[in-house]
Amino acid sequence: MSRFVANLIKKRREELVGVGSGEEENSSKYNIVIDEWIKVVDDDAGALQTRKRAQGLSDADTEDSLSARRDLTRLYHSKERRHTNLSPYGHRLHF
């Protein structure tokens, strides 16, 4: 069924390109319904692209968050290591 509808839409789009080149448009109820369905398909495709872009943004935010967490963890561990190499009086211990 979806292949059939896709073929109808494809044919109608080709007809509409011909109308732009000077051919006369057939404004039957059938064509009007197909044109409305084309609008629905186009709107759905636009919504899908918007969803994908939004998902990509959240993925990027997640990656930024994980990167910041790794950096902070690395910084914490380097400070902790620095503090464990000091004596209670602040002198560096040699192992």
- Does residue 20 sit within a domain? no
Number of structural domains (the chain) is 1
Nearest to 16 by CA among 26, 4, 6, 28: 26
67 in a structural domain = yes
Tell me the per-residue pLDDT of 3-26, one tens digit each, with 9 for 90 and over.
998 888 888 888 888 766 555 666
Residue 62 located in a structural domain: yes
Is 4 within a domain?
no
Residue 56 lies in a domain: yes
pTM of the model: 0.43
pLDDT in tens, 12-66: 888 888 766 555 666 788 888 888 888 888 888 888 787 777 776 666 667 778 8
Q: Tell me the residue type at 62.
A: T
In a domain, 3, yes or no: no
Per the structure, the complete domain to which residue 70 belongs is given by 28-84
Tell me if 79 is assigned to some domain. Answer: yes
- On whether residue 69 sits in a domain, the answer given is yes
The sign of the dihedral angle between the CA atoms of 23, 27, 33, 37 is positive
